[in-house]
């Protein structure tokens, strides 16, 4: 079997793998990225990166590149409750790092960042599949190519191969999986009659539904419809459901006239929203990043930001410690803390905004007025993500349990 030696071999050339490859190659590491796909297509993935992720992009030095490659910074975040406009947030003025969302078409941004990794000196091999892994002090990835299998030995192997990670299994991590509470369906629309500078978020908690529209620029929009698991017989996927997707969005509050000239121009796919994660995403020479380490529920739109947080933290650990085993261990320790914090916030939001039934309704009736009066009770998911306090005190404030009921 052919064999080669690298500092880092990265399985997966998504936003996580490509950005890490670029960052390490820029500092002189010999990096190889192996990517299964020969050409990127619409997989219905994240296209709205929250402001705390934009801050990570800036720390990684890719924000200008992303802007130049079509990411548009969206300033306004508008919320509707049960069909009535609730508030409009100026993200640039109110987030700690003064960023809007970065919205972009995922397949072209994947290509941009993979090209950038190559420009920085990383080698990129496409159309190859990971088929084996040897863990230990000198780990190796085994890939299948048209010329036979190859062993790629490295100081560190990174699994950046997404939500259905093969690397997670090959490295014998034990995944944890939340119960399925939400389903998220997404589709690409063109020519919606809605402003280009605003993310639109429609929520109908009593029936566990939300609709979200992220403008991507050039009259394109990624539309999501989120619904309670078990509330539909069949998943909302496949082109035959395109009109049902629109009808359900309208029932959830999106004005029907926005769709007058709309065209559906990408696949309609539905995914379970449940988190899947590993504790301590480093062992025996193999680190996991991005969705491979922790797939956070896409209903809350934090996956891209979390992926770039992983890249930035792993990069900083590796660049500040020659002992890469200790450095990757340090990354995994930090990951446990910030991912757990994000997971708690998403759990609270799921309980408050998607649980149904009389108890859930009466909790909302009690809690909503307090949150409206003191919005700082709600963790700032867009601006601060996992850096919000998430201890018991924060939980009680969110659910207004610190206020006596009479």
Ligand X SMILES: Cc1cc2nc3c(=O)[nH]c(=O)nc-3n(C[C@H](O)[C@H](O)[C@H](O)COP(=O)(O)OP(=O)(O)OC[C@H]3O[C@@H](n4cnc5c(N)ncnc54)[C@H](O)[C@@H]3O)c2cc1C
Exactly one of 36, 79, 283, 370 binds ligand X (CB under 6 A); that residue is 36
Residue 24 touching ligand X (CB under 6 A): no
Distance between CA 20 and CA 60 in Å, rounded? Answer: 9
Residue 272 sits in the site that holds ligand X (CB under 6 A): no
Q: What is the DSSP letter of 191?
A: S
Round to whole Å and give the CA distance between 299 and 186: 10
CB of 144: closest distance to ligand X in angstroms? 9
| 167 in Cβ contact with 293 (< 8 Å) | no
Site track 280-309 with ligand X (rule: CB under 6 A), x = hit: ----------xxx-----x--xxxxx-x--
* C-alpha span between 186 and 30 (Å, rounded): 38
Closest CA to 237 of 269, 209, 264: 269
Question: Is the CB of 181 or the CB of 397 nearer to ligand X?
Answer: 181
Residues 105-144 vs ligand X: string with x where CB under 6 A? ------------------------xx--------------
Q: Which of 8, 9, 15, 81 touches ligand X by CB under 6 A?
A: 15
Residues in contact with ligand X, total (CB under 6 A)?
A: 37
Distance, in Å, from the CA atom of 384 to the CA atom of 319, rounded to the nearest integer, reads 25
Beta bridge mates, 373: none
x/- string (CB under 6 A) for ligand X, residues 170-209? Answer: --------------x-x-----------------------
The site map against ligand X for 68-107 (x = CB under 6 A) is ----------------------------------------
- Would you count residue 21 as binding ligand X (CB under 6 A)? no
Told to check if 17 binds ligand X by CB under 6 A, we report yes
Report how far residue 101's alpha carbon sits from residue 258's, in angstroms, rounded to the nearest whole number: 22
The helix (H) or strand (E) run that includes residue 263 is strand 263-264
**Is 24 or 166 the residue whose CB approaches ligand X more closely?**
166
- When the beta carbons of 287 and 367 are compared against ligand X, the nearer one is 287
The two three-digit tokens of residue 208, written as one number: 């566990």
CB closer to ligand X, 160 vs 367: 160
- Mark the segment that binds ligand X (CB under 6 A) among 28-36, 132-140, 347-355, 365-373: 28-36
Which CB atom, from 301 or from 379, has the smaller least distance to ligand X? Answer: 301
Is residue 12 a contact point for ligand X (CB under 6 A)?
Answer: yes
Backbone phi and psi for residue 302, each to the nearest 5 degrees, phi listed first: -105, -5
Question: Which residue number, 26 or 152, has a Cβ lying nearer to ligand X?
Answer: 152
> Burial code of 98-121, b = ≥16 C-beta within 10 A, e = fewer?
ebbbbbbbbbebbebbbebbbebb
Smallest gap, in angstroms, from Cβ of residue 102 to ligand X? 9
Q: What is the 3-state secondary structure (H, E, C) of 111-142?
A: HHHHHHHHHCCCEEEECCEEEEEECCCCCEEE
Least distance between ligand X and beta carbon 307 (Å): 4
Residue 359 DSSP SS3 = helix
Q: How far is the CB of 106 from ligand X (least distance, A)?
A: 7
Smallest separation, CB 124 to ligand X (Å): 11
Token output for 123: 């080698």
Among 45, 118, 312, 377, binds ligand X (CB under 6 A): 45
Three-class secondary structure of residue 183 per DSSP: strand
Contact status: 271 vs ligand X (CB under 6 A): yes
Please state, in angstroms and rounded to a whole number, the distance separating the CA atoms of residues 24 and 364: 47
Binding piece for ligand X, criterion CB under 6 A, among 2-10, 43-51, 239-247, 372-380:
43-51
Give me the residue label for tokens 């969110």: 398
Write the CB contacts of 75 (distance below 8 Å, at least 6 apart in sequence). Answer: 90, 91, 92, 100, 197, 198
Cα 299 from Cα 346, distance rounded (Å): 9
Binding site for ligand X (CB under 6 A): 11-17, 34-37, 44-49, 129-130, 160-163, 166, 184, 186, 271, 290-292, 298, 301-305, 307
């Amino acid at each position: 079997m052919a064999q080669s030696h690298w500092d880092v071999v990265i399985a997966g050339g998504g936003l996580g793998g490509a950005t890490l490859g670029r960052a390490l190659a820029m500092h002189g590491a010999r990096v190889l990225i192996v990517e299964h796909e020969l050409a990127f297509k619409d997989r219905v993935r994240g296209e709205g990166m929250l402001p705390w992720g934009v801050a990570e992009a800036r720390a990684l030095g890719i924000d200008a590149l992303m802007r130049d490659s079509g990411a548009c910074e969206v300033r306004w975040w508008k919320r509707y409750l049960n069909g009535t406009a609730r508030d409009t947030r100026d993200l640039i003025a109110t987030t700690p790092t003064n960023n809007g969302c970065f919205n972009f078409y995922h397949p072209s941004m994947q290509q941009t960042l993979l090209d950038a990794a190559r420009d920085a000196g990383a080698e990129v091999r496409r159309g190859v599949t990971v088929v084996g892994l040897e863990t230990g002090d000198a780990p190796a990835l085994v890939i299948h190519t048209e010329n036979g299998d190859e062993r790629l030995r490295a100081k560190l192997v990174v699994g950046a191969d997404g939500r259905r990670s093969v690397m997670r299994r090959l490295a014998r991590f034990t995944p944890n999986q939340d119960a399925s509470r939400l389903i998220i369906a997404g589709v690409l629309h063109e020519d919606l009659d809605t402003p280009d500078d605003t993310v639109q978020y429609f929520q109908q908690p009593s029936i566990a539904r939300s609709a979200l529209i992220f403008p991507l620029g050039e009259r394109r929009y990624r539309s999501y419809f989120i619904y309670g698991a078990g509330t539909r017989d069949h998943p909302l996927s496949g082109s035959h459901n395109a009109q049902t997707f629109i009808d359900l969005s309208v029932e959830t509050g999106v004005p029907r006239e926005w769709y007058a000239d709309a065209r559906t121009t990408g696949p309609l796919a539905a995914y379970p929203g449940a988190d899947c994660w590993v504790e301590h995403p480093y062992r025996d020479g193999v680190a996991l990043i991005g969705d491979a380490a922790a797939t956070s529920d896409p209903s809350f739109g934090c996956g891209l930001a979390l992926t770039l947080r992983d890249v930035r933290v792993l990069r900083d650990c590796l660049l500040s410690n020659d002992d890469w085993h200790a450095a990757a261990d340090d990354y995994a320790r930090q990951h446990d803390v910030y991912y757990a914090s994000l997971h708690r916030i998403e759990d609270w939001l799921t309980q408050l905004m998607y649980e149904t039934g009389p108890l859930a309704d009466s909790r909302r009736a009690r809690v909503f007025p307090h949150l409206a009066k003191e919005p700082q009770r709600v963790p700032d998911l867009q601006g601060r993500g996992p850096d919000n306090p998430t201890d018991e005190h924060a939980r009680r404030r969110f659910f207004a349990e610190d206020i006596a009921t009479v």
